[in-house]
Chains A and B, each alone.
Chain A
Amino acid sequence: MKYFFVGLLFLSKAHAIGLQRAPEMIAQQVAKKLALVHEDLNTSKPSFIYRNEDETAYYLKRIRLQYAPFVAFDLAFFEMKIVPFLEFRWTRKNPIGWVNYRRQ
């Protein structure tokens, strides 16, 4: 009986692709995004956005970019789909002589 209902799912709406293609497609999307990142991202010199005398400062240390999903994969289970999204995180080191503010 369960195969009857699973069969019905193949008649559902488009936009969903078979699950077996998911790993390859996701990896390709990762590679595609990274291929767009050129080295000139890093040419500007970083600065503090605010600095308090010579003691503490706020510094842009991390960027995260999360991209909208690009496709849906059919889980073949009660119309559920798996929708992947990608996020990339870039971090930069502190300026020389500066450490993360922590109470010691």
Chain B
Amino acid sequence: MKLLISFLFLTQMAFAQMAKVPSEWIESSSSSEASRKSFGLNQGRGELTSLQEGYQNLIGHKSGMLEELSGDEEKKWYLQSIKTELGIEAKGGLGIMGAGGEAALELIWIRKKNGAKSFVSFNNEIDDQGTEAIQISSEMSPEALKAEIEPIVDLALKTSKIKKRSFLFKNLFNRALEFQKTIAELENAPSMGPWYAYKYQMELGVSVEGHITPFLEVGNALRLRMEWWKLKKKEVPLMLTQPTQNLSPNAKFVSAIAQDLSFIDQNYFQNGFQLNCMKVGVGTSVKGNLVIAKAQANAKGSIFFLRHEEDVLNQKLFPLPFDGYSLQSKDQSTIEVGRHQFRQAIRKSSNILSFFARHAPENEGDKKYELNVIEAEFELFMNGGIGLVTVEGNAGLTLFATRNVII
């Protein structure tokens, strides 16, 4: 009997201890006391030390595996980057993503060129070989919009199992028309601090019949993402729009988010990471006003915000007559989230991402791949709170920390 008990005891001891995030990080509590506790500001740091070690072990494992990959130096097309995911189980345990569920952290490793730091840039396409000039009116005509959509529909049909062109075409066209109305208002959103909207993404699931569905629905033949980027005329100096009297509700919505992002505590870290990008899923209310979508799967689109590296604008936060946001769930029910509460949520989520950015490894000169992007996915709760998404949850907001990447 003693031998049996000893065996059982030793068996338990052999099981690995799993690093856990503080419970406040995955729950909707946003009180300042809970936040301070979870960031170790007035408690012992044992829990966070264990999490740090577990997190760094997982990254070390991933990194080690990537270094084992053989090279493809002679090929034109090459393995330029690798994305891996970490997930959080219901009780807070952190591990690599397995079967099913939402990932909490997405890590992108980029190949270094000749051992040097990698700079991945989406260059300003200013050369003369660029695309030819375009329509001159301020709004695209329906015919031009149809012509814009057609190649995408054809491509989707040719390369997937979608059967009915007319359904897909009509669905996409309607979505694009809807977007066109929205961005006219986004354009007029005044500048509010160092954060600003730079692209809009529509992410759609397409069924075999050509119907547009929430992209996470089962049975989709295809997931389609379309990105509209904001451009500016090369020679024209950037004139930042100042607040005007009669902003539309949607323009205020976008400006308010940009303004509230300024409440992030820390943006830069010693290892080179910066918190400089955010994605928020949006939907529309019955009246056509923008709302924050609780889950990405139910969003009509996403707005991406970028942070200006240097706050050379030295802007004051202009008072913006905007009280709060509507948060919409899958069944279209909404709750109102005041700006103070939203700012607290932003601050909490950025502090969480800061932990993972801060404890990411330094750039090691001899490694082939470098961890350059950390995306943290957050769940928005219907009481206005926020937390890291667990595998059982639904992500609604993404914060990005990047280094050596020009977006």
Contact = CB atoms under 8 A, between A and B. Distances in A.
Interface of A: 33, 36-38, 40-68, 80, 87-88, 90, 92-104
Given A49-B180, A80-B99, A104-B238, A62 B232 contact: no
Contacts of B223: 64-66, 87
A103 B233 contact: no
Interface in B141-170: 144-145, 147-148, 150-152, 154-156, 158-161
A65 B161 CA distance: 13
A33 B224 CA distance: 15
Contact of B126 (A63, A80, A99): A99
Interface of B: 98-99, 122, 124-135, 137-140, 144-145, 147-148, 150-152, 154-156, 158-161, 176, 179-180, 183-184, 186-188, 194, 196, 198-200, 220-236, 238-239, 306, 308, 313
A58 B131 contact: no
20 contacts: A46-B134, A48-B135, A49-B148, A50-B183, A59-B230, A59-B231, A61-B229, A62-B227, A63-B225, A65-B156, A66-B225, A68-B160, A68-B161, A68-B220, A93-B127, A95-B231, A99-B234, A100-B229, A100-B230, A102-B124
A49 B138 contact: no
Contacts of B151: 41-44
B140 to A, nearest CB: 5
A67 B296 CA distance: 19
A36 B159 contact: yes
Contacts of A50: 138-140, 180, 183-184, 187
Contacts of B128: 96
B158 A37 contact: yes
Contacts of A68: 160-161, 220-222
Nearest to A50: B183
Contact of A60 (B125, B227, B232): B227
A66 B235 contact: no
A73 to B, nearest CB: 14
Given A68-B160, A100-B125, 9 more contacts: A36-B159, A45-B134, A46-B148, A49-B183, A54-B236, A55-B239, A63-B227, A66-B222, A88-B159
